[in-house]
Amino acid sequence: MKVSIQKFDFQSDKILSSLAPEEQQAFLDAAETLTFKKGKLIFYEGGIPTGVFLIKEGKAKIYKTGLDGKDQIFYIYKAGDLMGYHALLCNEHYEDSCEALETCDILFVSKPDFDNLLLKISKLQLLLIQNMSHEFGVMVNTITVMAHKPLRERLALYLLVLQERYRSEQTEIILPREDLANIVGTARESLGRLLKEFKEDGLIEVDGRAITIKQPAKLQKVASSEYS
List contacts with a copy of itself (CB under 8 A).
1, 3, 7, 64, 66-68, 70, 72, 74, 85-92, 95-96, 125-126, 128-137, 139-144, 146-149, 185, 224-225
Query: Residues 185, 198, 218, 222: which binds DNA (CB under 7 A)?
Result: 185
**Environment class of 15 (CB within 10 Å of its CB; exposed 0-12, middle 13-18, buried 19+):** buried
What is the DSSP code string of 53-77? EEEEES-EEEEEE-TTS-EEEEEEE
What is the DSSP code string of 122-176? HHHHHHHHHHHHHHHHHHHHHHHHHHHS-HHHHHHHHHHHHHHHHTTT-SSEE--
Binding-site partner at residue 15 among a copy of itself, DNA, none, CB < 5 to 8 Å by type: none
> Who's near 24: CB < 8 A, 6+ residues apart?
16, 17
Nearer to DNA, 131 or 186 (CB): 186
Nearer to a copy of itself, 34 or 132 (CB): 132
The CB-of-192 to DNA minimum distance in angstroms stands at 4
How many binding residues for DNA (CB under 7 A)? 21
- Report the residue count for the chain: 228
- Whether the CB-CB separation of 49 and 94 falls below 8 Å is answered with yes
Query: Residues 73, 186, 198, 203: which binds DNA (CB under 7 A)?
Result: 186
> Who's near 211: CB < 8 A, 6+ residues apart?
159, 172, 173, 174, 175, 195, 204, 205
Query: Residues 142, 164, 192, 224: which binds DNA (CB under 7 A)?
Result: 192
Interface region with DNA, contact rule CB under 7 A, candidates 56-64, 87-95, 109-117, 150-158: 150-158
Cα 119 to chain center, whole Å?
28
Nearer to a copy of itself, 138 or 174 (CB): 138
The CB-of-105 to a copy of itself minimum distance in angstroms stands at 25
Binding-site partner at residue 32 among a copy of itself, DNA, none, CB < 5 to 8 Å by type: none
Binding-site partner at residue 120 among a copy of itself, DNA, none, CB < 5 to 8 Å by type: none
